Structure 1
Amino acid sequence: MNRTEREAAVRRLLEQTPPQVPPDLYEDVVRRGGRMLRRRTAVRRVMWLLLLAATVAFVVWAVTVRPWVEPPSQTTPPLTGW
């Protein structure tokens, strides 16, 4: 199929009348779209809450464990009696 044949086929398709859409299709699409938006919003909120909970858990762990502090040396005994 060369370019002129493709253009002719596209023109034939565009000149045809569009197919009839069922009248109750619009209500179904609006209902499903609303449901998808509500579900997407709920999932986004749950993800933000999980991120917040993970952040709070990390901060609490970091404050209690303090991983940035060097642990005391256990290899040499303390010097006493000098």
Structure 2
Amino acid sequence: MDVFPDFDGLEGIGDLREVIGALLTFVLITAVLMLIVCAIAWAIAAANGNHSAATKARVGAWTALGAAVLAGGGVAWMNWLIGLGQQL
């Protein structure tokens, strides 16, 4: 008796790839838009001497940048894991 994994036991991996890819793309687009908005708010607040608003906008810009990096890396990581899983 041979023991071998059942590769047909998990259906819908293509659907999973599409759903997760679409969600991560939505997060990436939102993060980039928020990065642009926060950078503009940071520039305007700094130019007008409003240090409190400039600090909040700077924190928002760094947070949006981090979210964009994580979302972009998440797409690559998810594709790598699905590709690795198909090779097993």
Rg larger in structure: 1
More helix per residue: 2
- Structure 2 length-normalised TM: 0.47
Q: Considering Cα pairs closer than 8 Å and 6+ residues apart, tell me whether 1 or 2 has the greater RCO.
A: 2
